Amino acid sequence: MKKIGVLTSGGDAPGMNAAIRAVVRTCAYNNIQSYGICEGYKGLINGKIHPIESRGVSNIIQRGGTILKSSRSEEFYTPEGRKKAFKNILQHDLDGIIAIGGDGTFSGAAIFNKEFNIPFVGIPGTIDNDLFGTDFTIGYDTALNTVVEAVDKIRDTASSHNRLFIVEVMGRDAGFIALRSGIGVGAEAILIPEETTYINQLIDKLEGDRNGRKSSMIVIVAEGDELGGAYEVAKKVTEKCPKYDSRVTVLGHIQRGGNPTAMDRVLASRMGNAAVNSLLEGKSNVMIGIVNKEVIYTSFENAIKHHDKLNMNLMNLAEVLSC
């Protein structure tokens, strides 16, 4: 290994810059030239590849987003697009590539590796925390803290006006953000894609809280909830209980931004270092993960195929603590 490329693909996540920094500096420590690939697979196709020196990643560990930019490339999923990418890899003499992203990123890497035998190693960078093979993904902890900070402020105004706030968080296919943030803010109810939403049960719960004279009520809804998100939930609640003074807040992409937490910075640093070391050890087609505080390797196929499952004990905990 003399030259290693690094890219970020798909949705950005706080901590990606910390991972880039770790990759570049681990390469420098091992006398390897690192190359930044701008705009993910799109940049690999268009030849947006440039060398990065150790000093080039100074002062980025605390920054959200990604200095390499990101994108979702439909062209990379075509044979013609991948051939263009392969030509650019050969032109720059890259011996391996580290891809930071989620399941779409790893799916593309697996296909490319099979066709052209270019070593790929993945680093899980997604706020959804839904990849199999790691306890936490880069960006998840920061997103949780962003949600908690926002909902704490919403709780202040909800208490001042005896209102019901229905807050939508990210999670189209998984409820990891909704579940943990819901516990963290003391939500009265948490609605997630993995569980059936029974609107009558929700109403009964809210009525019980109202009769218990709670000064405010917060419902956390994952965007992939089966009713269709916070606005649909609010509509159903209002239809059945027009007496509620309810408001909807959709946190949206605010959850992807902001300075990464210390946990995400350390996690990203460990994973970036491990990704370079794994290429030096001859590993390929694997995702770096940390399970029980130890670095492990999971094949792209398993990381994509077997999505991590929610800890349903946390759902029970949320119900107990919301009474």
List residues with catalytic annotation: 128
- Helix ranges (H only) for the chain are 16-29, 40-46, 79-91, 103-116, 140-161, 176-185, 199-211, 230-240, 262-280, 300-305, 312-321
Structure tokens at 39: 């705009």
Cα–Cα distance, 85 to 172 (Å, whole number): 30
Compute the Cα dihedral for 117, 123, 126, 132 and give only its sign.
Answer: positive
Tokens, residue 216? 């405010």
Helix orientation angle between 103-116 and 79-91, rounded to the nearest 10 degrees: 70
Question: How many angstroms separate the CA atoms of 176 and 223, rounded?
Answer: 12
Cα separation of 180 and 80, whole Å?
42
Q: How many residues does the chain have?
A: 323
* 96-101/120-124 β-pairing: parallel
Q: What is the DSSP string of 36-87?
A: EETTHHHHHHHT-EEEE-GGGGTT-TT--S-TT-----SGGGSHHHHHHHHH
Secondary structure class of 181 (helix, strand, coil): helix
